[in-house]
Copies of this chain bind each other. A is one copy, B any other.
Amino acid sequence: MIGKEKSDPPGRIKIMASFSGLMQEKDFSSITTAQIAKNAGVTEGLIYKYFKDKKDLLYQVLDAHFQEFHEKIKIRITQATSSIAKLDLIILASLEEYLENRLLSKIILLEVRNSQAFFNSGAYKMVTIYARTILKIIQEGIASGEIAADTNPYLLRKVIIGAIEHACLGEVIFGKPLDIEKTAAGISDIIFNGVKA
């Protein structure tokens, strides 16, 4: 199988592009189906030919973005040698990604997770793949002796992801700038070396 291209009619592409564009301007709940259709140059009814509902449209757009992100980060990770260096890279790359595309991040960090349907979506599947990647690196780090043997890898993953997400949450919400390198290095230092004097 060369590609998984399911038939992609022009209307479908236009709708997704229209929606993606509108996402740069306003938040999900204030984008109307009428706007999406008008902006795409199709009728409202066509949206429901290709998408179950408005949320399904959101999840499919998100899915595409997630896949792109994951491809990018997978390549970068292979360049790091140690497990800790890999985790450092994940922290840095995640922060970069969140801050580069703030509107998308806002949706990921505080829009999609409150709907059960998201957890059945392809977009969520991508999130779990990313999470599994992180877990594997942690487990490798423990196996190689880089990370303390008594570390709970699942909990460490939670701390890392939680730190990343919360570190940029306020900045994403309020549109404030953030020194990404410094923040990434700071998180890494706290988690790997600890803060006890």
Residue A161 CB within 8 A of the other chain:
yes
Q: Is the CB of B158 within 8 A of A166?
A: yes
Q: Is the CB of A147 within 8 A of B195?
A: yes
Most central of A29, A115, A190 by chain B CB within 10 Å: A190
Q: Is the CB of B190 within 8 A of A156?
A: yes
Q: In terms of DSSP, what is the predominant structure of the interface of chain A?
A: helix
Contact with B along A110-127 (1 / 0, CB 8 A): 110111000100000000
Bound-complex Cα distance A5 to B31 (A): 39
Residue A84 CB within 8 A of the other chain:
yes
Q: Which A residues from 166 to 197 make CB contacts under 8 A with B?
A: 166-167, 169, 173, 183, 186-187, 190-197
Bound-complex Cα distance A166 to B113 (A): 12
Residues of chain B within 8 A (CB-CB) of A167 are 155, 158-159, 162
Residues of chain B within 8 A (CB-CB) of A162 are 159, 162-167, 169
Bound-complex Cα distance A106 to B151 (A): 28
Given known A147-B196, A196-B146, A196-B148, contact A191–B159 (CB-CB < 8 A): yes
Given known A110-B114, A114-B106, contact A166–B159 (CB-CB < 8 A): yes
A59 shortest CB reach to chain B, Å = 16
Bound-complex Cα distance A190 to B158 (A): 11
Query: Can you spell out 17 A-B residue pairs with CB atoms less than 8 angstroms apart?
Result: A28-B114, A29-B115, A106-B114, A111-B114, A114-B114, A145-B197, A146-B197, A148-B196, A158-B163, A159-B159, A159-B163, A159-B167, A162-B165, A163-B163, A163-B166, A191-B191, A192-B195
Question: Which A residues form the contact surface with B (CB < 8 A)?
Answer: 27-29, 84, 106, 110-111, 113-115, 119, 145-149, 151-152, 155-156, 158-159, 161-167, 169, 173, 183, 186-187, 190-197
